Amino acid sequence: MSRNLLPRSPLFCVLCQTTPLNCKYQVKYCQYQWGVGMRDVERVVREQLALLAEANMRADRAIAAILDAARGMDGGVRENAGVLLEVAEVVGRCGQARDGQLVQLLAQADRVGVPRAGLQAWVSTHLDVTRGKARAMAEAARTVGAVPELAAPLSSGEVGADTIRALTRTAQAVDGTGRETITAMAETLTIASRDGVAAANRHVRILEHTVGPGSPEEVLARQRVKSYARVSEVEGGMCRVDVLLDPVRGTTLRAAIDVLTAAWIRERQYDKADPLPVDVRSTGQINAHALVRLAEVFLTATPEQRGARLTPPTLYYLPLDPAHGDRFAESVYGTLVPRTVVAPPGHPAAHIIHVEGDHPVLLDGARIDTTPTARLATPAQRTALAFRDRHCRYPGCTRPPTWSLHAHHLVPYGKGGPTTLRNLALLCPEHHSLTHHPQHKR
């Protein structure tokens, strides 16, 4: 692109909006250096995007042709397998390079300014990944993709998704400890390249538990900051719970699980009883059952015992419509389970829903929309909304009904909007506020 064809004024940087002498992006972005205005930057990006789409189409056609040829190859020929593995390696490297480049693009989008719902919500909505995966990608973008020193290795195809996760954990481990983040990530990257991802993960685990000097209380405080509990859905509607806790809270949780596990094992060994389902045998399976039992005890406790005065949520819905028949129930998170395991009256947290079209009309045999002139939604309407909407209806938000979502009037109540399911939508508190005060949007 000829420099003479580009605007030369006004003389300020298009990113930091300052004079050329103070611009921290002079080499790449400053108008004084390159004469590239904001519109020209966008035009260049769109031109390259078109070239990228064309290149992807050519690559897809080439891979499709290779697959067609591979299906005609004779089995048992080692040379044939060798050439196909060469192609697989090229495709794998390209995929890893795209993973690294995606993290960098998300980092730049986050810096420039993503929609109010946030980077995680955008990833979850547009890239067809679970909330847990979207959260991990957003964290990787902010901690790894935003580091210029990592641009080359991330784009090389030598760094895969597991190494990117290890780099993200490294940055989180040294955050606030005074250690140089770039140096720590470089060390992790070196170990991954030399010894493999497993060795890098071991290095990160040691780093997470040993980094940072200070008193025992200070170490514990840092560990509490690093603690998390993440829930994600995997294949078949199964649920993965990933928990990292400081020693104090970890001891509490482990002791509660161990007490239940020990009691059940003792009943089996000494009382010849069978307190567990027949498919719960191994220690890991018993631990999982114990964790769920702790949750059941919490949900059936009094509000004072729970320390939460909110009504325990509906866990399952038993839809009555031709699409479901009478075989499946749906959880509050939208997963399907056998209807027999939650059928009332054995499961008090289940409700029978009668659906007409897209809207529930009956809850446990009673009409749902009974008071359209009421100011607030009824408990029955809130239950039906949770079944229908599944999560916050704000674009890109996936917070579930268990986040105490609000029943929002699509046509405002003050303007005559009725309190009926067709005029109600679930919104989380943050997005409910934004809907009523759009001037606060970014």
Q: What's the confidence (pLDDT) of residue 336?
A: 85
Q: Are strands 316-320 and 328-331 parallel, antiparallel or unpaired?
A: antiparallel
Confidence of residue 335 (pLDDT cuts 50, 70, 90): confident
SS3 394: coil
- Do 130 and 269 lie in one domain? The reply is no
- Do 95 and 128 lie in one domain? The reply is yes
CA angle 317, 320, 321 (to 5 degrees): 125
In a domain, 215, yes or no: yes
Q: What's the confidence (pLDDT) of residue 213?
A: 63
- Do 91 and 221 lie in one domain? The reply is yes
In a domain, 141, yes or no: yes
Q: What's the confidence (pLDDT) of residue 325?
A: 61
Distance between CA atoms of 17 and 249, rounded to whole angstroms? 47
In a domain, 235, yes or no: no
Distance between CA atoms of 115 and 223, rounded to whole angstroms? 32
- Do 419 and 394 lie in one domain? The reply is yes
Q: What's the confidence (pLDDT) of residue 37?
A: 55
Residue 248 token pair:
């104090």
Q: Where are the beta strands (DSSP E) in 287-384?
A: 316-320, 328-331, 336-338, 350-356, 359-363, 366-367
Residue 225 token pair:
């900051």
Percent of the chain residues past pLDDT 90, beyond the cut: 29
Confidence of residue 117 (pLDDT cuts 50, 70, 90): low
Whether residue 9 is predicted with pLDDT greater than 50 in this model: the reply is: no
In a domain, 231, yes or no: no
Give residue 135's domain range: 77-226
Query: Closest Cα partner for 390 from 402, 375, 381?
Result: 402
- Do 184 and 88 lie in one domain? The reply is yes
Distance between CA atoms of 199 and 373, rounded to whole angstroms? 64
Q: For 123-135, how does the pLDDT look when each residue is reduced to its tens digit (9 = 90+)?
A: 888 888 877 788 8
Q: Give the dihedral sign, CA 408/411/412/417.
A: negative
- Residue pair 190/196 in contact (Cβ under 8 Å)? The answer is no
pTM of this structure: 0.56
Rg over CA atoms, the chain: 28
Whether residue 398 is predicted with pLDDT greater than 50 in this model: the reply is: yes
Tell me how far CA of residue 101 lies from CA of 38, 128, 157, 190, 352, in angstroms: 22, 18, 9, 19, 48
- Do 280 and 342 lie in one domain? The reply is no
Distance between CA atoms of 372 and 381, rounded to whole angstroms? 11
For 5-14, 117-126, 258-267, 387-396, which range has the lowest pLDDT when averaged over its residues? Answer: 5-14
In a domain, 237, yes or no: no
- Do 84 and 206 lie in one domain? The reply is yes
**Residue 189 CB contacts under 8 Å (≥ 6 apart), including other chains:** 150, 153, 159, 163, 167, 200
Distance between CA atoms of 235 and 231, rounded to whole angstroms? 14
What's the total number of domains in the chain?
4
- Do 372 and 425 lie in one domain? The reply is yes
CA angle 244, 285, 342 (to 5 degrees): 100
- Do 433 and 354 lie in one domain? The reply is yes
Q: What's the confidence (pLDDT) of residue 346?
A: 66
In a domain, 26, yes or no: yes
CA 206 to chain centre: 26
Residue 278 token pair:
């027949």
Q: What is the DSSP string of 200-242?
A: HHHHHHHHHHH-S---HHHHHHHHHHH-EEEEEE-GGG-EEEE
- Do 410 and 359 lie in one domain? The reply is yes
Whether residue 334 is predicted with pLDDT greater than 70 in this model: the reply is: yes
- Do 202 and 84 lie in one domain? The reply is yes
Distance between CA atoms of 68 and 193, rounded to whole angstroms? 34
Q: Which residues pair with 407 in a beta bridge?
A: 426
Tell me 151's DSSP state: H
Tell me 144's DSSP state: I
Overall average pLDDT of the 178-205 stretch: 90
Residue 270 token pair:
């000494």
If you search the block for the tokens 């054995």, which residue do you land on? Answer: 346
Distance between CA atoms of 23 and 342, rounded to whole angstroms? 63
Q: What is the DSSP string of 98-138?
A: HHHHHHHHHHHHHHH---TT-HHHHHHHHTT--HHHHHHHH
- Do 89 and 216 lie in one domain? The reply is yes
Q: What's the confidence (pLDDT) of residue 319?
A: 84
Whether residue 73 is predicted with pLDDT greater than 60 in this model: the reply is: yes
Q: Which residues pair with 352 in a beta bridge?
A: 318
Confidence of residue 102 (pLDDT cuts 50, 70, 90): very high
Distance between CA atoms of 16 and 222, rounded to whole angstroms? 34
What crossing angle do the helices spanning 119-126 and 78-112 adopt, rounded to 10°? 140
Helix (H) or strand (E) holding 427: strand 424-427
**Residue 11 CB contacts under 8 Å (≥ 6 apart), including other chains:** 19, 20, 31, 32
